[in-house]
Amino acid sequence: MESCLIVLVLLCVCGNSVGFNGDYQEKFFDQHIDHFNFVSYGDKTFKQRYLIQDRWWRQGDGPILFYTGNEGPIDAFADNTGFMYEIAPEFGGLLVFAEHRFYGKSFPFDPSVAFTHPYVGLLTIEQAMADYAVLISHLKVQLNATACPVIAFGGSYGGMLSAYMRFKYPNIVTGSIAASAPICLLILELDRSFFFTDVTKDFDRVQNCVEDVHQAFVEMKLLAAKGATGLEQLSKIFNLCSPLSNSKEYRHLLSWARNAFTVFAMMDYPYKADSLANLPAFPVNVACGLITNSSEAIYGLAQAVDLLYKIAPGKCHNIFQEFVECADPTGCGVGPDSLAWDYQACTEVHLPAGSNNMTDMFPELPFTSQIRTEYCQQRWNVTPRDSWANTQFWGRDLDTASNIVFSNGDLDPWRRGGVLSTSNPNLMTQLVIGGAHHLDLRGANPADPPSVRTVRKVEKSQIHKWVKDHYRTQPGNVFPHH
């Protein structure tokens, strides 16, 4: 039997410029619309997109590196593979990138109706994980690789999926690297106020920055209190295409501006990056410099926000197109992907609370569990059942889990939603000092902090260990040839 290694990579849009760059074949797999109800759709299937590339594959005993996409089109992930792309030559790996249902081109239903009842009900974590498990099983048979171990990698929501794949399908997944995976978000008792508090802490590393950001929002509030004239002035300061006309639109402006700081904190990498946005190195420092060096804080804030929402000279900001409010206060993105993530945030993925202006530098923009429930009932006609997610995805009860590395960056505002320590000897936690959102899953860069290089070595060491342990249990004790 041919020896190989299957690696699942579950990432949000991340990585640096190293990637597939279109050097792959696009293929589609007939996937069941509903894996769990034999009556609802019977044998009906949809085309799940995946990408494949065999440049480095050592056929016979080389690994299959299988990336399970999360909330976005798979080609964006494939072009930002980072860490996994770089280790493919070392492992002699075949690269396969699979797309998450309801994103990109992988729609079980026509996009015009996909986000209506009852069709959107097929957008669940369980269904997506089953898609990946079925596709893996198919590829293992097709490639004569039925004895292959499976290692799952993931960052952010993808990191959650990578851990859950090990929980749910230990017969398929041998081990998981779960980077910046906030699985504790699905725990009922979690204090969700941590996120914007920790965004603020990131900016507090720059002298006077938090004070000046807070002052800028105070100045915005004073202008808004003047009514129409103040709103008109705010519209000019932020170069808006349409003047603000009421308090609801002003509130959207605040959320739009706050979202920029969220992205800066998540992408506070020591080099230029273009995954979530095209940003300079250390965007937190750059944004703070614009604000603290401005003669008036509010004008500095407007310049800082422009770092994220770039527009051509002579153009203006359409804040309703650039930012969509949803059940995720940290942002859902735009386009069809924002609809899919909004629905997931209304069902299984309970995201952080809003800002409170006490533990953070932002205006008071609350998003409590009650506000979320009311929003989701009105927007999607669904009521969140967080106790189910807490049960289905284990909560903090990880005593029986094994073969997972949970990594988190100390600069990442999602960090406190993740697994930071464990008494389970079969799990490992790693802290990336100087690391923002899943920095360890990005490609190597000369500007990388030493800690992330060490963490990547630990992760590769664990992969080797899991693979060897797996092959020791196989009939004939066949090991890959490295």
Catalytic residue among 156, 162, 235, 275: 156
pTM summary value: 0.93
Q: Are residues 199 and 314 in the same domain?
A: yes
pLDDT band at 13 (very low <50, low <70, confident <90, very high): very low
Query: DSSP labels for 317-368?
Result: B-HHHH----S-TT---SSHHHHHHHHHHHHT------B-SSSSSS--B---
Q: Annotated catalytic, 35?
A: no
Spot the catalytic one: 437, 438, 451, 470. 437
Buried b (16+ CB within 10 A) or exposed e, 462-476: bbeebbeebbeeeee
Catalytic residue among 328, 412, 440, 448: 412
Segment 85-140, tens digit of pLDDT: 888 888 777 778 889 999 999 999 999 999 999 999 999 999 999 999 999 999 88
* pLDDT of 475 higher than 90: no
Same-domain status, 309 and 248: yes
Please give the tally of structural domains in the chain.
2
Give the tokens for residue 338. 């924002």
Q: Which of 17-26, 415-424, 455-464, 468-477 has the lowest mean pLDDT?
A: 17-26
Q: What tokens appear for 92 in the block?
A: 């002699």
Q: What is the CATH number of the domain that holds 353?
A: 1.20.120.980
Counting Cα atoms < 13 Å in the Cβ hemisphere of 442 gives 30
Range(s) of the domain holding residue 67? 6-187+395-472
- Which structure tokens are listed for 397? 């009860």
| CATH code for the domain of 104 | 3.40.50.1820
Buried b vs exposed e over 427-456: b needs ≥16 C-beta within 10 Å? bbbbebebbbbbbbbbbebeebbebbeebb
Same domain, 165 and 141: yes
Question: Sign of torsion, CA 279 281 282 288?
Answer: negative
Same structural domain, 237 and 358: yes
Check whether residue 439 and residue 379 sit in a common domain.
no
* Residue 267 DSSP label: T
Lowest mean pLDDT among 33-37, 123-127, 144-148, 339-343: 144-148
Residues 163 and 111 both lie in one domain: yes
Model confidence at 19, pLDDT cuts 50, 70, 90, reads low
Query: For residue 478, what pLDDT is reported?
Result: 53
Residue 315 lies in a domain: yes
C-alpha–C-alpha distance, residues 273 and 267, integer Å: 8
Is residue 156 part of the annotated active site? The answer reads yes
285 and 351 both lie in a single domain: yes
Q: How many angstroms separate the CA atoms of 452 and 431, rounded? A: 9
> What are the φ/ψ torsions at residue 10 (nearest 5 degrees)?
-115, 110
C-alpha–C-alpha distance, residues 31 and 100, integer Å:
11
Boundary-marking domain end, from 346, 368, 386: 386
